[in-house]
Amino acid sequence: MRRLTIALLAALITAPAAGQISPQEPAAAQFIQSEASEVVSKLADTLDSDFVDPEAGHQYSAMLRKKLAAGGYSHFADSKAFAAAVTADLQAVHKDAHLRLNAPAQGKSGERKSAMIPPEDSTILASGWLAPGVAYISFSAFYGNDKTLAGLKAFLDQARGAKTLIIDARQHRGGGLWEMDVMFPELFTAKTGLLDMDTREAVFKAMGDAFEDEPTITTIAGPASVVRQRHYAVPAANPGLANSKVFVLTSGKTASAAEHMTLALKRTHRATIVGETTRGAGNYGHPADLGHGYSAFIPVGRTFDPDTNKGWEATGVAPDIAVPADKALDKALELAGVSKSSADALAGLSQPPAVAATTAAH
């Protein structure tokens, strides 16, 4: 599952995190009709064979082929305008929060490359102690890169024994399971089933190495035409946050892998969710290379609560305590017994965690 979930929302992270400066928009690659015809044909074939809902996949495919034959993808100002038009056409057939065509990314010298390559920088936006005994960490994504995992492991080591842990997912746009599989062992004291994942059987067989069972992923009995796997929390030998009260902060932009984390912790009653209903991007999948630098994210499976058989595609995950996203941290601090405002608490976050931990012990 690790290789597959890397792109959960990579293509949708188009806005910089709060406090960051937006880079200058690069020039769009040229639109070339012959390339567009190849891209649309390959996208139609891939959706027909791989999309999580076979009937919807066939409908997407039929629409694309019909419009291509009618000359509907012949003239666009540039590659981005073409990709946006195809995406709008797909969403008009069936809405899926992950499905979109991505235009090529273009380097300074004009070379093309896929836009779905996740960055190598850490996706931890901030971490430390908001108050004595109250640890805090905020993410923009879960890409499982070395910098993020190293920073997360250091944070969890420093936060051992915290009275409260606040996980801020309000700016989290998606990714994979890696960071969850680092955090959850410190939160749970027994092996715990979290969520189930149904993958279209043909895709599972074709991409078997992307779905291999691991300590946190086990294949279980499921219905015909899909392969069902269960995601587990596997506790560490000595979980450092086993007795911590946990809050997860959400917004309407919290998406994909962040929603997986949110529902997993909500369903198991291991965290209180504070904020807004999440975005509703629940179908996981893989990036498809369509040639000429174009790519698409193809949903091939769905994640859901095994108790209700319901996921969060198009509906989102509702919070336990509903407040506007910009008030979520204030509410979590209040519930944690901290009298500081979120602004004051975050202003003091720069205090080295090790020092804060020592202070909290006295």
Residue-wise pLDDT for 213-258, tens only, equals 899 999 999 999 999 999 999 999 999 999 999 999 999 999 999 9
With a cut of 50, say whether residue 145 has pLDDT above it: yes
Residue-wise pLDDT for 162-200, tens only, equals 999 999 999 999 999 999 999 999 999 999 999 999 999
With a cut of 50, say whether residue 110 has pLDDT above it: yes
* Average confidence score pLDDT of the chain: 89
With a cut of 60, say whether residue 19 has pLDDT above it: no
pLDDT at 158: 94
Q: What's the CA gap between 51 and 230, in Å, rounded?
A: 20
| Cβ within 8 Å of residue 206, ≥6 positions away | none
pLDDT at 17: 34
With a cut of 50, say whether residue 361 has pLDDT above it: no
With a cut of 90, say whether residue 115 has pLDDT above it: no
Q: What's the CA gap between 36 and 73, in Å, rounded?
A: 7
Q: What percent of the chain has pLDDT over 90?
A: 80
pLDDT at 8: 43
Q: What's the CA gap between 136 and 29, in Å, rounded?
A: 41
With a cut of 70, say whether residue 4 has pLDDT above it: no
Per DSSP, the residues of 25-85 read: PPPPPPP-HHHHHHHHHHHHHHHHHH-SSHHHHHHHHHHHHHHHHTTTTS--SSHHHHHHH
* Count of residues in the chain: 362
Residue-wise pLDDT for 315-339, tens only, equals 999 999 999 999 999 999 999 999 9
Q: Which CB contacts under 8 angstroms, 24+ apart, belong to 103-112?
A: 103/28, 103/29, 103/78, 103/79, 103/293, 103/294, 104/29, 104/79, 104/292, 104/293, 104/294, 105/26, 105/293, 106/26, 106/27, 106/28, 106/29, 106/293, 112/29, 112/292, 112/293
Q: What's the CA gap between 361 and 115, in Å, rounded?
A: 47
Q: How many CB atoms lie within 10 A of CB 298?
A: 23
The alpha carbon of 192 is separated from its chain's Cα centroid by a whole number of angstroms, namely: 21
| Residue that is written with structure tokens 């279980």 in the block | 220
Place 154 in a pLDDT band, splitting at 50, 70 and 90: very high
Considering only CA atoms, which of 242, 253, 229 is closest in space to residue 183?
242
Q: Which residue has the higher pLDDT, 352 or 173?
A: 173
- Sign, CA dihedral 51-55-58-59, equals negative
Residue-wise pLDDT for 24-82, tens only, equals 456 789 999 999 999 999 999 999 999 999 999 999 999 999 999 999 999 999 999 99
The bridge status of strand 294-304 relative to strand 192-200 is antiparallel
- Sign, CA dihedral 241-138-211-317, equals positive
Q: What's the CA gap between 34 and 73, in Å, rounded?
A: 10
Minimum mean pLDDT among 61-70, 102-111, 122-131, 300-309: which range?
Answer: 102-111
Domains in the chain and their CATH numbers?
Answer: 2-113 (no CATH), 124-294+302-360 (3.90.226.10)
With a cut of 50, say whether residue 11 has pLDDT above it: no
Residue-wise pLDDT for 266-290, tens only, equals 999 999 999 999 999 999 998 899 9
